Structure 1
Amino acid sequence: MELRLRQFRPRFGPREHRVVQPGQPLRHTSLRDQTPLGMLMGDHDGLSRLAGLFSFAAYSRHTIVHVPLRESVPPDEGCGELVDLVVAHSEAGLRPSKWPELRRPLGRGTPLTVRTDEARTERHARVWLERRYDRGLLRHTTHARTYFLIGGRDVLATVATQFAYAAGWGPREKGVAKGRPAFMGSLQHELEPTRGGGHPHEVLICFKPYPPYAHFKRPGH
C-alpha cells in the first residue's frame, strides 16, 4: 500500500523525534474511549489506511504515528469521548505524558510517501499469533484526549492485519448498505492486561460506510 503522509521533526530537550500523520484526515473514522470497552469505527478508506499506518509503525522503530481522529465525523453509535490515536514501536521511546509537548509545535510538516509490504506484515502477524504469549503485548493508555498503543513489530503487524480484514470484508456484511455498522473484530488479546485486575480492556473494530448510503454498493451488487 502507498501511504501519503506528513512528517514532522519536533525536538524535546536534546532529542529530535520523528512524527508522521496521514496526509489527509480520516474523515469518516473515529475512536471512542470508554473504559473498559472502546470502539473504533471506520469506512473502507479509513480502515485500509489504519492497516497501512500500523504496518508502517511496526517497521519504523523510531517513528511516532499520530492519527488525529477527534475532528472526524462522529458516528451515531457508541458512547465515550472521541480521542486521537498514537501508535509507536517500543523503541521509539515515547512517553505518553510528554506527548502534549511534542504535539504542540507540530505545524504543516513536509510531504512523505511510503510503501508498506502486506506479505511481510502477514508473515510477522502469524509469528505473533503462534507465540502470542512470548512475543509481547501492546501497552495502552489514554492521556490528553489521545489513546496510545505502543509495542513491538509482530503485535503491531497483527493489528494491521485486523484492520485490513475489516476494510476488505466489512463492505460485504449484511445491512451496511442501509447504514448499519458491522462488528469486524476487536483488540483485546493484543493488549496488556489491566493493572489491578477487573474487566480486560477491549477496543471494538467496526465497519460503517459514510452517508448518504445510496452511494454505497456491496461488492458483487
Structure 2
Amino acid sequence: MRLRLRQFRPRTGPRQHRVVQPGQPLRHTTLRAPEPIGMLLGDHDGLNRLAGLFSFAAYSRHTIVHVPLRDSLPPDEGVGELVDLVLAHHTLGLRPSAWPELRRKLTDGTPLTVHTDEARTDRDSTAWRERHERTDNRDELRHATHARTFFLFGSRDVFAGTAMSFAHAAGWGPLQKGVAKGCSTLMTALPALVQPPGGGHPLEVLVCFKPYPPYAHFRRPGR
C-alpha cells in the first residue's frame, strides 16, 4: 500500500524525534478510549489507511505514528470523548506525559510517501497469532490515555497482527448487511490489549465499519 504522510522532526532537549501523520485527515474515522469499552468507528478509507499505518509502524521502530482523530466529523453514535491515536514501539520509551510538548512542536512537516509490504505484514501477523495462542505469550499491546490521546505501545509482530485486523475490517465491512442504510457493524477488536490487575470487565476497543453520510452515495461491492 502507498501511504502519503507528513513527517516532523521535533526536538525535546538534546533528543530529536521522528513523528509522522497521515497526509490527509481520516475525516470519517473516530476513536473513543476504553472506559472499559472503547470504539473505533471508520469507513472503508479510514480503516484501510489505519491498516497501512499499523503496518508502517510495525517496521519503523524509531518513529512515532500520530493519527489525529479527535477533530474528525463526530459520529451519530457512541459515548465518550473523541481522542487521537499514537503508535510507538515499546522500545522507543515514549512517555504519554511528554506527548503534549511534542505535539505542540508538530509544525512545518514535509511530505513523505512510503510503501508497505502486505505479504511481509501478513507473514509476521500469522507468526504472532500462532504465538498468541500459547498461554505464556507476552507480546501484547500496552496502552494509556492521556491528553485526549490513546497510546498503543507494541512490537513489530503485534502491530502487524493489528494491521491485518484492520485490513479485514476494511475489506469485509462494506459487505455486511445494513451498512447501506447507515448502520454500523462490528468487525473486530484491537487484539491483545494488556488488562489491568484486579479483574472486572476487560478493556476492549471495538472496531466497527460505517459508511459516511449521506448514505445514498454508498453501494455495497458487487451491487
Normalised to the residue count of structure 1, the TM-score between the two structures is 0.97
The whole-number CA distance in structure 2 between the counterparts of 1:93 and 1:209 is: 36
Letter in 2 for 1:192: V
Which residue is equivalent to 1:143?
146
| 2:15 equivalent in structure 1 | 15
Q: Distance in 2 between matches of 1:196 and 1:124?
A: 32
Q: What whole-Å deviation, never above 9, does each CA across 1:13-71 have from its counterpart, x for those lacking one?
A: 11100000000000000001241000000000000000000000000000000000011
| Aligned-CA RMSD value | 1.0
The one-letter amino acid paired with 1:149 is: L
Aligned pair partner of 1:194 in 178, 196, 204? 196
Q: How far apart, CA to CA, are the structure 2 residues paired with 1:22 and 1:154?
A: 22
Does the CA contact (< 8 Å) of 2:34 and 2:203 recur in 1? no
CA–CA separation in structure 2 for the residues paired with 1:68 and 1:155: 22
Shift of 1:90: 1.7
- 2:151, 2:200 → 1: CA distance? 20
Contact preservation (8 Å) 1:30, 1:72: yes
Structure 1 residues 24-43: aligned runs within 5 Å: 24-43=24-43
Q: Deviations over 1:67-101 (max 9, x none)?
A: 00011011111101100000111222211111011
Secondary structure of the 1:94 match is coil
**Matched residue of 2:171: which SS?**
helix
Say if 2:221 is the partner of 1:210. no
Aligned AA (1:53): L
Correspondence for 1:123? 123
Q: Kindly indicate whether residue 68 of structure 2 is the aligned counterpart of residue 44 of structure 1.
A: no
Q: Is the 8 A contact 2:65 2:88 kept in 1?
A: yes
Runs of 5+ in structure 2 lacking a partner? none
Q: Determine what percentage of the aligned residue pairs are the same residue.
A: 72
Secondary structure, counterpart of 1:81 in structure 2: coil
Q: Secondary structure at the match of 1:131?
A: helix
Q: Secondary structure at 2:108's aligned position in 1?
A: coil
Could you tell me the TM-score, scaled by structure 2's length? 0.96
**What is the deviation of 1:195?**
3.2
- Whether 2:110 is the aligned partner of 1:134: answer no
Q: What's the CA shift for 1:134?
A: 2.5
Q: Could you tell me how far apart the structure 1 residues matched to 2:50 and 2:203 are?
A: 20
Alpha-carbon distance between aligned partners in 2 of 1:89 and 1:2, rounded to the nearest angstrom: 22
CA shift, 1:135, in A, is: 5.2
Aligned partners of 2:13 and 2:146: how far apart in 1?
21
- Whether 1:172 aligns to 2:175 is yes
Deviates more, 1:195-204 or 1:174-183: 195-204
* Maintained 8 Å contact 2:131/2:137: yes
Distance in 2 (alpha carbons) for counterparts of 1:113 and 1:31: 25
Q: For 2:54, what is the secondary structure of its paired residue?
A: helix
